[in-house]
């Protein structure tokens, strides 16, 4: 049957940790401790990548790169990345348990998808040791996928490489890329889905791309909320997303729409970077 049979979710900013603040706060802290101030926006740009790759991408940003050279009178090297990552890992592991609350509508939506016979997979930019904390906390609060994997199991080839999606498909016995949806909240998530040839979907409210915590979002006026949603949608579309949803509540309806497209022979677009 030509219908969606699996959904692969990202974690922070998608199903848990509204606004994806656990890693952002730590990135800012480790750079500050190294004598280089970074902004929240700079810390968010590479979000979704393997965290060591994320740190390297930040160091390669022109402004941060110049600040690093001014601080140390030299270009950064692999040792610098390793030392920053070591600090990042220890700080994140100490705080991750506080960031495992499911986003609104996630638990209910996943139950509805399972009742329809869909498999639930996941990919992440976290490591195995980080995910043991996240999965345990999320499970206690009602969210547990059928399968999870980190770049630790793909030779450290995280997003935007498609390998974690392929491993999900293998483990969950999903028969074809066009029968799979990948949902995430960052540019790296969208590119991961596109590179795997699956339907690539951005979720807007609670995303790292939007960059607001729950209270900040709820304090916006209706006009401000609509503008924030519009801006985030435009960003996802600019990355090449096949679709966007405002919240997880819209996912079952989107799946029905995609199933109709599949019946007509439509396939997800395979785009390169």
Contact 17, 10 (CB under 8 A): no
Binding site, annotated residues: 10, 12, 185
Catalytic (active site) residue 51: yes
The pair of three-digit structure tokens given for residue 240, joined into one six-digit string: 């090449």
Q: Which of 8, 30, 13, 5 is nearest to 187 (CA)?
A: 13
pLDDT in tens, 34-55: 999 999 999 999 998 989 999 9
Residues 254, 271: Cα–Cα separation, whole Å: 21
Separation of alpha carbons 271 and 273, rounded Å: 7
10 catalytic, yes or no?
yes
pLDDT of residue 271: 43
Question: What is the reported pTM?
Answer: 0.91
What distance in Å separates the CA atoms of residue 246 and residue 130, rounded to the nearest whole number?
A: 27
Q: Is CATH 1.10.150.240 what the domain over 22-98 is classified as, yes or no?
A: yes
Report how far residue 118's alpha carbon sits from residue 251's, in angstroms, rounded to the nearest whole number. 12
* Biggest distance spanned by C-alpha atoms of the chain: 62
Kindly state the helix (H) or strand (E) to which residue 9 belongs, with its residue range. Answer: strand 6-9
Instruction: Label residue 273 by pLDDT band (50, 70, 90).
Output: very low
Q: What is the mean pLDDT of the chain?
A: 95
Domain locations along the chain: 6-20+100-263, 22-98
Q: Which of 5, 10, 53, 189 is catalytic?
A: 10
Q: What is the rounded distance in angstroms from the CA atom of residue 104 to the CA atom of residue 162? A: 28
**Catalytic residue from among 51, 179, 182, 191:** 51
Binding residues for Mg(2+), by number, are 10, 12, 185
Q: What is the spatial distance between Cα 261 and Cα 137, in angstroms, rounded to a whole number?
A: 37
CA dist 189 and 20 (Å) reads: 13
Mean pLDDT, residues 168-190 taken together: 97
- pLDDT score of 200 more than 80: yes
Assign domain 6-20+100-263 to its CATH superfamily: HAD superfamily/HAD-like (3.40.50.1000)
């Amino acid at each position: 049957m030509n219908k969606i049979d699996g959904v692969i979710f990202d974690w922070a900013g998608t199903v848990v940790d509204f606004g994806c603040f656990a890693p952002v706060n730590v990135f800012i802290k480790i750079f500050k401790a190294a004598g280089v101030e970074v902004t929240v926006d700079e810390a968010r740009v590479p979000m979704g990548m393997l965290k060591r790759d994320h740190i390297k991408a930040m160091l390669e940003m022109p402004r941060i790169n110049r600040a690093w050279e001014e601080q140390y009178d030299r270009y950064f090297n692999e040792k610098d990345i390793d030392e920053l990552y070591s600090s990042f890992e220890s700080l994140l592991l100490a705080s991750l348990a506080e960031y495992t609350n499911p986003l609104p509508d996630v638990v209910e939506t996943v139950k509805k998808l399972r009742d329809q016979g869909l498999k639930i997979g996941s990919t992440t930019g976290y490591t195995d040791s980080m995910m043991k904390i996240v999965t345990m906390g999320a499970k206690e609060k009602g969210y547990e996928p059928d399968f999870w994997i980190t770049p630790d199991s793909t030779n450290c080839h995280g997003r935007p490489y498609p390998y974690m999606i392929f491993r999900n498909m293998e483990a969950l016995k999903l028969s074809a890329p066009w029968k799979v949806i990948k949902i995430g909240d960052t540019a790296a998530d969208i590119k991961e889905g596109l590179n795997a040839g699956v339907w690539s979907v951005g979720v807007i409210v609670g995303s790292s791309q939007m960059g607001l915590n729950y209270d900040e979002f709820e304090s916006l006026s209706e006009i401000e909320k609509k503008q924030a949603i519009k801006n985030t949608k435009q960003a996802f579309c600019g990355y090449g997303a096949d679709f966007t949803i405002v919240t997880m509540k819209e996912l079952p309806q989107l799946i029905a729409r995609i199933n109709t497209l599949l019946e007509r022979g439509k396939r997800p677009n395979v785009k390169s970077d």
